[in-house]
Amino acid sequence: MRILIISPVDPAAVARLRERHDVVCAYNADAATLRAAIVDRDAVILRSGVKLDAAAMALAPDLRLVVRAGSGTDNIDLDHLAARRIALVRVPEPGAQAVAELTFALMLALARGVRTADAALRQGHWAKYEIEGRLISGKVLGVVGAGNIGRRVGQIGAALGMRPLGCVEHPTPEATAALERAGMALAPFDRVVAEADFLTLHVPLTPSTRYIVGSDVLARMKPGSYLVNMARGGVVDEAALHAALVRGDRLRGAALDVHEHEGEGRRSPLADLPNVVLTPHIGASTVDTQRQIGERVVEIVEQHAGALPVAVPA
C-alpha cells in the first residue's frame, strides 16, 4: 500500500509500516507539499493540527483509506470522503484515558494555584500564605459531552469525591445506563452549566457545538466556578471567555488544552491572564498512548491491505 503520513505518529509504527509498504512522511506539510505528496497515495494517516481537504484528496485518484490517529474529524473533509466512498477509520480509545488524566491535571492546577505558586517560587518568593487553594472533593463536576472521554472524566471525578453531572446531545436509555455505571447523573445542558463547580468540555466540533460556550452560557455559570476545555477550540468563544475572566463575577479561572487558533507562532488571547492555564493540545500526547495508537494504526492498514482477516470496529 502507498501511504502518506502527514502528522507525527509513533516511530515504531512508522518503521513497521515501512517494512511492508511504500511510506512517505510529510509531517505538518504546507498545502503545496501535501498536494504534491498525495497524488499517488492509497492511504493517508493523520492526527490533529493538519487539514485534509477536498482539494488535496481530489488529486489522489487511488485514495481509499484515511486513518485518523485519534478521535476528532473536524480537520477532514467528510463530505468528500463520503462522496468517493473513501474509508475513514478513527482510533479514539487509546487517547481517552490520557485526555481524562490531563483534564484533572489542569483542574487541579487551577484549584491549587499551581501556576502562580510555581512562578513565585522561581523568582525566590515564598508565597505559601498567599496561594488560596480549593479542594475538588465534594464539588460538582459538570461534564459536557459525557461520551467515551467524558465518562472516564466522571469516573475519575467520582473516585476523587466529586459529584459528576453529565450531559449528551442525544439522551437515550442506553446513554443514561452507561453514565449510571460510571457513577454519573444525566442532566440537561443548562442544569450542568448552572450547577458545576468545574465545567469540563469533551464534545466534537460540529455546527451544533461551535461556540456552545459563549457569553450567555458563561453568564449562567456558578459564581466561583472553573472552565476546562479539552474538546476543540471552536467550542468556546475565547473573546467572551476573556471578558468573563476579567470581570471575575462568575468564573474564577479557566484551563484550555485546545484553542481557536493553534500552531507555532500563535498566541492565545488569554495568555496574559493570571487565572488561566494553557497547554498546546497535548491531551493524547503521552508515550504510552501514542504507542497504543501506533499499534492500532498498523493493524488498520494491514487489514485494508488484505493482510489481516479481522474486522475494524466502527
Contact 238, 272 (CB under 8 A): no
> Who's near 87: CB < 8 A, 6+ residues apart?
64, 65, 66, 304
Q: Is 182 helix (H, G, I), strand (E, B) or coil?
A: coil
Q: Which of 93, 101, 262, 295 is catalytic?
A: 262
Is 281 assigned a catalytic role? yes
Q: Which of 16, 68, 202, 232 is catalytic?
A: 232
Q: Alpha-carbon distance 311 to 314, whole Å? A: 9
Q: Which residues pair with 66 in a beta bridge?
A: 44, 88
Is 302 assigned a catalytic role? no
Q: Alpha-carbon distance 255 to 33, whole Å? A: 34
Contact 195, 223 (CB under 8 A): no
> Measuring CA to CA, which residue among 50, 1, 43, 59 is closest to residue 27?
50
Q: Which of 252, 259, 281, 296 is catalytic?
A: 281
The 3-class SS string of 87-149 reads: EEEECCHHHHHHHHHHHHHHHHHHHCCHHHHHHHHHCCCCCCCCCCCCCCCCCEEEEECCCHH
Is 262 assigned a catalytic role? yes
List the grid coordinates of 194. Answer: 448552572
Residues annotated as catalytic (active site), given as ranges:
232, 262, 281
